[in-house]
């Protein structure tokens, strides 16, 4: 029997992996320079925005197969809220899931901080793959732009999750479209907000970046949750799916 503590442990581990893998790729590998050749010329061999986008998608894809059968592999408070609204998740477990995910995100960011701080000149306050708007947006996008992007992209993320995990969808393939959807979301919005669509991921890195990043983290709770609710409502409205949750 899979008890609630086991589910919460799985969510903690999965969210830890998402932050360490996704944000770690951004902090450690996105713009990596190496001295190659006899003249010691610096070459850019980093993975760039495309690589970071795929890293986030791969964390979800791998964990979906690893713990999907244990906890459902939400890894994201907004996803848990959306699945509750979508009739796929019990409201009784919602708050414990959000706590486990948030702690997992902070722990993952903490391990990443320990690794990254081993390099001379590292400064977490410079960003640490954190999300932001205005001056803290990678592309200088306004709060409204970031808010709209986060709401809309999270709505589509929930729409894809609910569709891919629908009992009428092909069985066993759900992690693939979900992982690719998250990859696509990052390809779209890294320049806008550094891509959140996940409050636990956002708070995790903001805790260590501090300053304005932590002060702006409220938006990356509010916008993804609103988006998740919208996505769940739209999917239920057009899918004809009955409420299969045990939500009270």
Residue indicated by tokens 């959140």: 196
Instruction: Note the pLDDT of residue 157.
Output: 98
Instruction: Note the pLDDT of residue 205.
Output: 98
**Residue 243 in this model has a pLDDT that exceeds 60:** no
Q: Which residues contact 22 (CB under 8 A, 6 or more apart)?
A: 52, 55, 56, 59, 129, 201
The pTM score is: 0.92
Q: Return the minimum-mean-pLDDT range out of 43-52, 167-176, 203-212.
A: 43-52
Residue count (the chain): 248
Instruction: Note the pLDDT of residue 67.
Output: 98
Is 244 inside a domain boundary? no
**Residue 103 in this model has a pLDDT that exceeds 90:** yes
CB 69 within 8 A of CB 14: no
Is 160 inside a domain boundary? yes
Digit-coded pLDDT (tens) for 219-242: 999 999 999 999 999 999 999 876
pLDDT classification of 39: cutoffs 50, 70, 90: low
DSSP 89: S
- Look at residue 37 and give its three-state secondary structure: coil
Is 49 inside a domain boundary? yes
Is 143 inside a domain boundary? yes
Instruction: Note the pLDDT of residue 36.
Output: 62
Digit-coded pLDDT (tens) for 61-80: 999 999 999 999 999 999 99
Is 247 inside a domain boundary? no
| Separation CA 209–CA 123 (nearest Å) | 8
Instruction: Note the pLDDT of residue 43.
Output: 64
How many domains is the chain partitioned into structurally? Answer: 1
| Separation CA 39–CA 36 (nearest Å) | 8
pLDDT classification of 151: cutoffs 50, 70, 90: very high
Q: Return the minimum-mean-pLDDT range out of 23-32, 37-46, 104-113.
A: 37-46
**Residue 183 in this model has a pLDDT that exceeds 80:** yes
**Residue 52 in this model has a pLDDT that exceeds 70:** yes
Domain extent, residue 235, equals 4-239
* Average pLDDT value for residue range 106-126: 96
**The token pair that represents 86 in the structure block:** 């979508």
| Separation CA 167–CA 162 (nearest Å) | 10
Instruction: Note the pLDDT of residue 27.
Output: 96
pLDDT classification of 54: cutoffs 50, 70, 90: very high
Instruction: Note the pLDDT of residue 41.
Output: 65
Residue indicated by tokens 């938006």: 219
Instruction: Note the pLDDT of residue 246.
Output: 38
Is 27 inside a domain boundary? yes
Instruction: Give the count of beta carbons closer than 10 Å to the beta carbon of residue 44.
Output: 9
Whole-number mean pLDDT of the chain? 94
Is 56 inside a domain boundary? yes
Is 65 inside a domain boundary? yes
CATH code, domain with 84: 1.20.1080.10
């Amino acid at each position: 029997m899979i008890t609630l503590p086991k589910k919460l442990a799985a969510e903690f581990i999965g969210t830890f992996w998402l932050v360490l893998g996704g944000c770690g790729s951004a902090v450690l590998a996105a713009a990596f320079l190496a001295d190659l050749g006899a003249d010691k010329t610096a070459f850019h061999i980093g993975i760039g925005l495309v690589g970071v986008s795929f890293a986030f998608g791969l964390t979800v894809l791998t964990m979906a197969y690893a713990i999907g059968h244990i906890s459902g592999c939400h890894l994201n408070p907004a996803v848990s809220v959306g699945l509750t609204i979508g009739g796929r998740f019990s409201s009784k477990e919602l708050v414990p899931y959000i706590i486990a995910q948030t702690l997992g995100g902070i722990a993952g960011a903490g391990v990443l901080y320990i690794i990254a701080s081993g390099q001379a000149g590292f400064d977490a306050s410079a960003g640490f793959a954190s999300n932001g708007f205005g001056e803290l947006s990678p592309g200088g996008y306004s709060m409204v732009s970031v808010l709209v992007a986060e709401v809309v992209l999270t709505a589509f993320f929930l729409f894809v999750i609910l569709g891919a995990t629908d009992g009428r969808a092909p069985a066993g393939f759900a992690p693939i479209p979900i992982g690719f959807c998250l990859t696509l979301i990052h390809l779209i919005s890294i320049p806008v907000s550094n891509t959140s669509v996940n409050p636990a991921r956002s708070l995790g890195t903001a805790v260590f970046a501090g300053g304005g990043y932590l002060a702006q983290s409220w938006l990356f709770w509010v916008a993804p949750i609103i988006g998740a609710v919208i996505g769940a409502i739209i999917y239920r409205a057009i899918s004809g799916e009955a409420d299969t949750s045990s939500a009270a």
